[in-house]
Amino acid sequence: MTIDVDNDLADALEPGYSDGADDLVEPDDEHSVSLFEGDEGGLEYAQRQTLVALLKQRFISARTHPRDWRVLVEHERLLRSRLNDLFLDLAIDLESEVAWKRQAVSETGSRFPTLLHDTSWPREETLVLVHLRDRLRAGLAGGDARVYIDRDDILGYVASYRPAHATDAAGDEKRARNAVTSIAKAGLLIPTGSEDRFEISQAVEPLLPLELLHELLGALRQANGTAEPDAESLAQSDLFDEDDDEAPVGAATGTDEEDPA
């Protein structure tokens, strides 16, 4: 089973994915707006670099992209205007220190040309992301400034959704482990001193708004032949906190929210 979601995050979950940052060559004068012959651009090198990061990545954050985050905060209006030129909107959560792009919506309801398109999250990545968001909300609600999770905790959660008829336990575990590695590579699990323990990026929450969580868990339960939870259990779950109604709808809806390959 796959879940429709943004291609930019899906690209980041691909094995061997790299944003190319390690291959960048710094210009002789980083404050110059003319960086190559015939250059008619109006942005300095650092501003262009941040704009490219916004276009290529599902999100940037102060924790995972500190240099780009500083440039974004300092030049927010300028970078927002460049995204607007492409019919994209810039969303910023200053409390979580996370920024992401989304498709702009016309005031008349008509559709703009778009660079974004649909793709799918594999089942295991979907389960990992849902669990990370649940644990993140619970930890933050308990007063934790940073929320941590162990690899075995994630693997156990994924295993709990294994259908009763599944017989390839070794293959299922391998896919779950690969999902953890992929999501860590995407920056949503931040490494710590232990290879089996991670900090959960606060970017997880804006990437998974409430309505998408309902859709994801409903699809997973249907695929596994398990019943939907009743209203009382949903109301008591951190995953479906009513305060999350203000989550940025469109941050990861799986509809026209993805970057070109």
* Under-50 pLDDT residues of the chain: 1-18, 20, 227-261
Helices 76-84, 66-74: crossing angle, 10 deg rounding = 90
Domains of the chain with CATH codes: 121-246 (1.10.10)
pLDDT of 27: 58
The pLDDT score that the predictor gives to residue 233 is 37
DSSP state at residue 107: T
> What is the pLDDT, as a whole number, of residue 156?
94
Q: What pLDDT, on the 0 to 100 scale, is given for residue 30? A: 58
Q: Residue 42, SS3?
A: coil
Per-residue pLDDT of 30-65, as tens digits, reads 556 778 888 888 899 999 999 999 998 888 999 889
For the entire predicted model, the pTM comes to 0.63
Cα(168)–Cα(105) distance, integer angstroms = 45
Question: 3: closest CA among 233, 221, 166, 249?
Answer: 221
In the predicted model, what is the mean pLDDT of the chain? 75
Distance of CA 65 to the CA centre of its chain: 13
User: What is the separation, in whole angstroms, between the first and last Cα of the chain?
Assistant: 22
Q: What is the pLDDT of residue 106?
A: 84
